[in-house]
A = this chain, B = another copy of it.
Amino acid sequence: MRLTQRTDFALRVLMHCAAHARREEPLTVKEIAEEYSIPLNHLTKIVQELGAKGFLETTRGRGGGLRLLRPAHTVTVGEVVRATEQDFCMAECFHPDQQACVLLPHCRLKKTLEKALSAWMRELDAVTLADLVHNGLRKPRKIHLHF
């Protein structure tokens, strides 16, 4: 029972970007790959995927780099996990093309696992990238304007 390595790395890249959101010079894939000992090719693919899925803005060339496309307090861990995990087929009976199990007509295992998965996801949906990093990133305070 574990997350894929891709999700693990994706979360760390996004957390790193969240933690360094105020840095002036742009973050680079190379720098993050070195810092987290992730092979550069592997990380490049993950960053491209996170770009395609609207989590990161990536700019090429000199002075280019990556940054969070949305503020860290609006991106939940659940969202990232849903976007990067290949599937949530907890058992064979989750696959639509594998419905041969003789228990299926009287089995409640699938429903039980689905319920457990929802409980798991609820926890991850309640936490944002900003919550994960202790660097003072907070939701901007609401400004109350009195007229």
Contacts and interface: CB of A to CB of B under 8 A. Distances in A.
A103 B3 contact: no
Interface stretch (A55-63, A65-73, A117-125): A117-125
Given A36-B102, A91-B3, A107-B15, A123 B132 contact: no
B101 A12 contact: yes
A106 interface: yes
A33 B121 CA distance: 34
A128 to B, nearest CB: 10
A37 B37 CA distance: 42
Interface string A123-141: 1100100011111000000
A144 interface: no
22 contacts: A1-B4, A2-B87, A3-B90, A3-B91, A3-B113, A11-B109, A12-B101, A12-B103, A15-B103, A15-B109, A36-B101, A36-B102, A77-B109, A77-B112, A106-B133, A106-B135, A108-B132, A109-B132, A112-B124, A116-B120, A116-B123, A116-B124
Interface of A: 1-5, 7-8, 11-12, 15-16, 19, 35-37, 77, 81, 85, 87-92, 100-103, 106-109, 112-113, 115-117, 119-124, 127, 131-135
